[in-house]
Amino acid sequence: MLSLITTLPILLYVGYTDFKRREIENIASILLLLIGIVQAAFPQSFFGVSLFERFTVGFGIFVVLLILYKIRPEASGGGDLKLFSALGFCIGTLFFYVLFFSCLIGLIYAGITRKKGVPMGGAVALTSIILSISYILGFSL
């Protein structure tokens, strides 16, 4: 969970820009990858994510989302693909919790606003905040 907490400042920025401009800047994904690389230099016990887990989750997400993007480009943007892959590299399998709850938040947002597209960067940021606060308060996944 510490690996997720270290990504919060970038995810907050992503959430803001995605909500306001519907755009996720490349620098955010690059910074997330750099954070993941720095984290990988520490022992696995410190951040709880092995290098193998980082690569498998990050690359797996990239491949799946790239295929979906090629099939239906209107379903998701390239920024989402890069953000999710980089975040998967940073936090490993914890990403699947973030993805699940982000999709729930996205569905609620779409239901309330009746808009066709959902700024997933904002949903990821909100989910990351909620999961980080729950971890700090002593709840674990």
Give per-residue pLDDT as tens, 99-137. Answer: 999 999 999 999 999 887 888 999 999 999 888 888 888
Phi, psi angle pair for 138, to nearest 5°: 105, 0
Count of structural domains, the chain: 1
What six digits make up the tokens of 52? Answer: 């193998």
| pLDDT tens figures, 68-79 | 989 988 878 888
Domain membership flag for residue 104: yes
Residue 23 falls inside a structural domain: yes
- What domain range includes position 27? 2-136
Contact between 15 and 23 (Cβ < 8 Å): no
pLDDT at 34 over 80: yes
- What is the widest separation between alpha-carbon atoms in the chain? 46
| Residue-wise DSSP of 94-130 | HHHHHHHHHHHHHHHHHHHH--S---HHHHHHHHHHH
- Full-model pTM: 0.87
Q: What is the pLDDT of residue 1?
A: 66
Residue 111 forms part of a structural domain: yes
Q: What is the total residue count of the chain?
A: 141
| Poorest-pLDDT segment among 27-31, 46-50, 93-97 | 46-50
* 141 within domain boundaries: no
